[in-house]
Amino acid sequence: MTARRIIKVGSRGSELALCQDEELLALLRPLFPDLDFQVITVRTQGDINTTGALAEMGLGIFTREIERDLLAGEIDMAVHSLKDLPTELPQGLTLGAIVQRQDPRDVLINRWGCGLKDLPEGARIGTSSPRRQALLNSLCPQVVTVPIRGNVGTRLEKAQGEDYDGTVLAAAGLNRLGLIQHISVYLEPEEFVPPPGQGALGIEVRADDQEILDMLKNIDHQDTRSAVTAERGFLEVLGGGCQLPMGAYARVSGHALLMNVFLGSGSGTGSDVFVASVEGGSNDPMQLAKDARAELAKHGAAELLGTQAKSGGLRGQ
């Protein structure tokens, strides 16, 4: 009896990451019933360091070790939350597929079950995201943002404890974990702009592995790829790093691609927040990214854009 070919799928070992793996495998197994898919969990620096500020640890803290194993041939593909994946991939790696995106929105969870505008004065909202902090300070300056770390379950538990009144999380993560009952309100992405790629899974592979590339063509979702390419392109034209709060949300509408972008000063006051909306052809997402940067400059962010280019980048999470 011939042994079945094993395809090794690399992933973080968190409960959410394992749910994301199953989402991918539910697409691949029916298409390739003669293959065995084996999930290989990898501890990343972001998993090891559970107390450091994410914004200071930089992009790639949840992906570097997985990419190392992929390049070494220890795994055949890697599953990432696309918002965690830097825009510049290591030489020899490529995105073989971008799976159809789930809900891109952030959600607010709080003890009163209310929306942003109704949060009481001094409400303590937990977040370690410079983007979420800047947006919260801009849209509801009456709240106090408090640092919070941990996986989704840990942050939910902390948000219901004595030190917090609530938190902001990604809708897709709660949906994948079956925890949507905790949501107080969904935050519309045109106003509370998500980070590039939120809700989407990116499948990273070796660029010369044609067999795996051909396999993944079957699950690549073109509208999602166009949208997140524009979002990640916006981060790239801003510098590709992670020093200022930013967000980008794109969606396909017919033959058009629409995108809302956000850029903050990083001052923590919410006073210097710039937003813009752009529209272009869905066949040229990188041009839309460039247009978004230009539109932000027209909306008053020219000086901030020049400053970040010299200092090194953006904080997108």
Look-up of token digits 């070992």: 13
Please indicate whether residue 209 is annotated as part of the active site. no
CB atoms within 10 A of CB 278: 22
Look-up of token digits 């949840």: 62
Q: Which amino acid is at 229?
A: T
Report CA torsion sign: 31, 28, 86, 40: negative
Q: Of the residues 34, 47, 76, 84, which is catalytic?
A: 84
**Nearest-angstrom CA–CA distance, 261 and 16:** 27
Determine contact, residues 65/75, Cβ cutoff 8 Å.
no
| Main-chain dihedrals φ then ψ at residue 41, nearest 5 degrees | -90, 140
Total residues found in the chain within this entry: 317
Relative to beta strand 201-206, strand 93-98 is: antiparallel
**Nearest-angstrom CA–CA distance, 100 and 226:** 11
Burial of 161 (0-12, 13-18, 19+ CB in 10 A): exposed
**Nearest-angstrom CA–CA distance, 230 and 285:** 4
**Nearest-angstrom CA–CA distance, 110 and 98:** 32
Local structure of 87: helix, strand or coil:
coil
Determine contact, residues 116/94, Cβ cutoff 8 Å.
no
Active site residues: 84
